[in-house]
Amino acid sequence: MPVMMQKKDEILIMLAHYFVTESNYTPIVVNGVKDEVWLENNEGPYKLIRINANHIHNDEQLKYDIYKTRSIMRQVKKKTLSFTMNTLNIFLDLGDSVNLKPLKNIDNITIESVDEIKKQPELNSIFPTIKDKILDKHDGFELLVDATNGINKKTEETNKIFEETFKPKFIYVTLLLILACILMFIITSITGGNTALNLYRWGANLKEAVVNHHQIYRLITCTFLHANILHLILNMYALYIIGSQIETYLGKLKFIAVYFISAISGSLMSIIFSYNLSVGASGAIFGLLGSLLYFGYHYRVYLGTVIRTQIIPIIIINLVIGFTLSGIDNFAHIGGLVGGYLATMAVGVKGRSKKSDIINGWITLSIYLFILIFLAFYYVK
């Protein structure tokens, strides 16, 4: 027996199915709403799409509806750490006397029939595949089943990637890096102590040695050396906490790439702005914070609050401390932070980064490193 369904409900199901399965939009939970669907995709032509099946009687009710829409936009904007939030507002049941007007950051369109989906000019210009990809079922039950199956399949694929990314994994690259730092601390301690001269002998970073004597290896070896036991303990604790997360989220090979690119970036920034001896893993660790920032942005629906309340404050507090106290190479921190962010953009986040994002990441990272190398070796004397 066919399922009787209101025409606007059919349109809502068709549109929601298309946006989720074909345009990579994700349904988001919005408290206090009824008969409407909210979809989010920060990489889409609209960051938010709202499909509203509520009946709007007149302009006064429309005005209140727009006010409610903007309120929800602000909530999503805050949660997803977005500076701008453009929304496509699709009305399925508008009164004849309602006058839709263009609004800042909100495009309002109305669709009142199934055929209109394929004819609506604004919708088809922005989503050209909608004509061919929209479900076209006349039986309510068949439409409901196909739409549900399609959305469930897409959700299963997304959940699989999410599970693979966040599930606990055996961490050993981070532990090996920590072990290497501890071993080097022991070696420097028993071969002359952690004096400036002995740290220099074992590979500390120094502009004179790197630039004039071409001892490029110091850009890496300095990250395994530490000035004292407190320096070592603080850095290894931070490396264990942050490194284990990045190794889990990105995978071991990408983690290695991000760590050492961050280390090199931090060391280059250090010799551009400082002539002092520099040691420590903190530049690379700041790179992991930059990596976590980039990763968290792509999973902002899940980690938005963590980024805003924990990661960003930690970065800011540590940079402020670095500029306030003497003896801290804050330029290495800044170089590592930027390098880690760009390196993660280049290696990509599984299931989130598009091919174009990765290409742009490698281009941007290459330009950034080229500028650092030029400044360090040829410009700043």
**Tokens encoding 130:** 């909608």
For residue 279, give the CATH number of its domain: 1.20.1540.10
Shared domain check, 293 and 216: yes
The total number of structural domains that make up the chain? 2
| Active site (annotated) includes residue 57 | no
How many other C-beta atoms are found inside a 10 Å radius of the C-beta of residue 33?
A: 15
Q: Which of 226, 291, 333, 353 is catalytic?
A: 333
Q: Give pLDDT, residue 4.
A: 52
Residue 344 near residue 237, CB atoms below 8 Å: no
Confidence of residue 347 (pLDDT cuts 50, 70, 90): very high
Shared domain check, 102 and 151: yes
- Return all residues near 274 (Cβ < 8 A) that are at least 6 apart: 207, 329, 331
Is a pLDDT exceeding 80 seen at residue 307?
Answer: no
Residue 193 near residue 179, CB atoms below 8 Å: no
Domain end among 123, 138, 166: 166
**Tokens encoding 35:** 């008969």
Q: How many residues are present in the chain?
A: 381
Shared domain check, 186 and 68: no
Q: Give pLDDT, residue 320.
A: 87
- Is 105 a domain residue? yes
Mean of pLDDT values over 20-26: 86
- In angstroms, the CA 226 to CA 178 distance is 12
- Is 2 a domain residue? no
- In angstroms, the CA 281 to CA 283 distance is 6
Shared domain check, 179 and 275: yes
- Is 349 a domain residue? yes
**pLDDT tens per residue, range 157-180:** 777 777 777 788 889 999 999 999
Domain end among 166, 190, 215: 166
| Active site (annotated) includes residue 333 | yes
Domain end among 107, 141, 166: 166
Shared domain check, 276 and 137: no
Q: How far, in Å, are 16, 47, 127, 152 from residue 146 at the CA level?
A: 12, 26, 21, 10
Shared domain check, 189 and 80: no
70: amino acid identity, one letter: R
Q: Which of 282, 291, 298, 353 is catalytic?
A: 282
- In angstroms, the CA 226 to CA 210 distance is 19
Task: Identify the H or E element spanning 91.
Answer: strand 87-91
- Is 299 a domain residue? yes
Half-sphere exposure of 380 (CA within 13 A, CB side): 17
Residue 295 near residue 249, CB atoms below 8 Å: yes
Mean of pLDDT values over 257-267: 97
- Is 1 a domain residue? no
- Is 353 a domain residue? yes
| Beta-sheet pairing, 48-52 with 36-40 | antiparallel
Which of 95, 83, 94 lies closest to 42, judged by CA? 83
- Is 246 a domain residue? yes
Q: Give pLDDT, residue 1.
A: 42
* Cα dihedral value 11, 14, 19, 23, nearest 10: -130
- In angstroms, the CA 39 to CA 133 distance is 18
Is a pLDDT exceeding 80 seen at residue 149?
Answer: no
Confidence of residue 236 (pLDDT cuts 50, 70, 90): very high
Mean of pLDDT values over 223-228: 96
Residue 107 near residue 89, CB atoms below 8 Å: yes
pTM of the entire predicted model: 0.79
- Is 303 a domain residue? yes
Mean of pLDDT values over 129-137: 79
Shared domain check, 193 and 78: no
Mean of pLDDT values over 199-210: 95
Shared domain check, 161 and 35: yes
- Return all residues near 183 (Cβ < 8 A) that are at least 6 apart: none
Q: At what angle are helices 330-347 and 252-273 packed, to 10 degrees?
A: 140
Shared domain check, 100 and 61: yes
Shared domain check, 117 and 146: yes
Average pLDDT score over the chain: 87
Domain that holds residue 243: 173-379
**Tokens encoding 96:** 């004849």
Shared domain check, 79 and 195: no
- In angstroms, the CA 336 to CA 50 distance is 40
Residue 380 near residue 361, CB atoms below 8 Å: no
Shared domain check, 158 and 27: yes
